[in-house]
Structure 1
């Protein structure tokens, strides 16, 4: 595989304010990218975080999904995103408290 794990952060902004992008998902993505880069875990053969359009689970956002595992997470802040990266991506442990 090109990446060991790939995390997609919904950054969709809806006019009615219900989209993940209206709930700070851009900051979740930005933190994930910088955190992975700071650990030298960004790029081919490693890990990747990407922005995505609507993932269709707006009422549960902001959210991200980890592939190829297909595990969905809701998060509140950078601490949650760090936990997803440290526990799920790096250690292979699903973060049950954030899992959708």
Structure 2
């Protein structure tokens, strides 16, 4: 058995070269909200849920992103309501939130045109 039932990582990466990054999409505030909410629900700690900050998870173009382990389910979110839904449905009820789920595979690059 794992030390935590669920481990959630929020990408807080900052990119300065103009590429999209989770940090520019309020990721830190959402991670802090999730941490407080899990604690308020009595889910934090050993045998429960751990909310962590992460550096680059290399999916910033699809972000902001968070990943829930041990299932390895990747999510995007817009606001606190989305983060609450991930906690309520995935962490509490064990249901994947399909509307916020990111695909398990990398996006396929468009083929060059033959024009």
Q: TM-score range by the shorter chain?
A: over 0.9
Q: Deviations over 1:23-60 (max 9, x none)?
A: 11001100100001111111111101000000011111
Which residue of the partner structure matches residue 87 of structure 2?
85
Alpha-carbon distance between aligned partners in 2 of 1:38 and 1:17, rounded to the nearest angstrom? 35
Q: Mark the runs of 5 or more structure 2 residues left unpaired by the alignment.
A: 103-115
Higher relative contact order, chain-length normalized (CA < 8 Å, sep 6+): 1
Q: Which TM-score applies when normalising by structure 1?
A: 0.97
Candidates 81, 92, 97, aligned match of 2:99: 97
Which residue of the partner structure matches residue 54 of structure 1?
56
Give the count of matched residue pairs.
100
Alpha-carbon distance between aligned partners in 2 of 1:12 and 1:3, rounded to the nearest angstrom? 24
Q: Mark the runs of 5 or more structure 1 residues left unpaired by the alignment.
A: none
1:21 offset after TM fit, Å? 0.9
Alpha-carbon distance between aligned partners in 1 of 2:58 and 2:20, rounded to the nearest angstrom? 11
Alpha-carbon distance between aligned partners in 1 of 2:60 and 2:34, rounded to the nearest angstrom? 20
Q: Which TM-score applies when normalising by structure 2?
A: 0.85
The alignment's C-alpha RMSD in Å is 0.8
Which residue of the partner structure matches residue 2 of structure 1?
3
Candidates 64, 67, 76, aligned match of 1:65: 67
1:17 offset after TM fit, Å? 5.4
Please state whether the residue corresponding to 1:76 is helix, strand or coil: coil
